[in-house]
Amino acid sequence: MTMMKIQVAEASPPPATTQGTAVPAEHKEPFPPFDATHFASQLFWFAICFVAFYFIIARVAVPRIASILGERRGRIEGDLGEAEKAKQAAEAAGIAYEKALAEARAHGFDIAEEAGEKARAAAAEERASTEADLAKKLAEAEARIAEIKSRALGEVGAIAADTAEALVKALADVSPTPAEIKEAVGAAMSGRNG
């Protein structure tokens, strides 16, 4: 019935206007969505579409969104768990590093002390060896000096005897016997030593 009315309305010529545009003189039928006669069918199809969209969203979209959110939540929780484990591991590594550093410092101090003691012991041993070597060389030198002194003193008597014989010959024009010269030099030397 509506179709007929629309067709009839289209078949009638438009009325003339003062400005040259066609304006219908009377518009008797309202716009179809606002027509009260169509409300029942519109509400029926609205309900069917609403229920269909509700089931599509409830059965398809919401579970997919829920699964995506669940996966994200699980991934976030897993990442937070891994981050917490990494944090704990980093803290444990930091504590282990500090402990190892303290042990290394203590060990380094012990090594330094041990090296110092070894160096002092080596220096003392070297000093003792050097002192023993010097003492040996000093004893050898003293022995040579004593030997040279005794040889020199032994030769002093011979030199003194020769000198005394030459002096007596030159001054007194007398030739003393070797026994007399030896006796005179021995008396002079024992008087000087005494």
Of 180 and 10, the one with more pLDDT: 180
Task: Give this prediction's pTM.
Answer: 0.35
CA end-to-end span of the chain: 178
Cβ-based burial of 38 (10 A; exposed 0-12, middle 13-18, buried ≥19): middle
The range of the structural domain enclosing residue 152 comes to 140-184
The number of distinct structural domains making up the chain is 1
Q: Is residue 80 part of a domain?
A: no
Q: Is 133 part of a structural domain of the chain?
A: no
Q: Are 161 and 183 in contact, with CB atoms under 8 Å apart?
A: no
Domain-located, residue 156: yes
Backbone angles phi, psi at 128, to 5 degrees: -65, -40
Residue 185's Cβ-count burial label (10 Å; 0-12, 13-18, 19+) is buried
Decide if 157 contacts 189 (C-beta within 8 A): yes
Looking at the domain assignment, is residue 179 inside a domain?
yes
68 versus 39: the higher-pLDDT residue is: 68
Taking Cα atoms as reference points, which of 190, 171, 174, 172 lies closest to residue 182? 190
pLDDT score of 21: 57
pLDDT of residue 3: 46
Q: Higher confidence at residue 174 or residue 5? A: 174
The CA-based angle 19-20-26, given to 5 degrees, is 90
In a domain, 157, yes or no: yes
User: How does pLDDT run across 131-140, given as a tens digit for each residue?
Assistant: 999 999 999 9
pLDDT digits (tens, 9 = 90+) for 60-77: 999 999 999 999 999 999
Band of pLDDT at residue 4, cut at 50, 70 and 90: very low
User: Does any domain span residue 114?
Assistant: no
Model pLDDT, residue 90: 94
CA–CA gap between residue 26 and residue 91 (Å, rounded)? 87
In a domain, 131, yes or no: no
**Position of tokens 């039928």?**
29
Tokens matching residue 189: 């030397």
Note whether residue 180 is domain-resident: yes
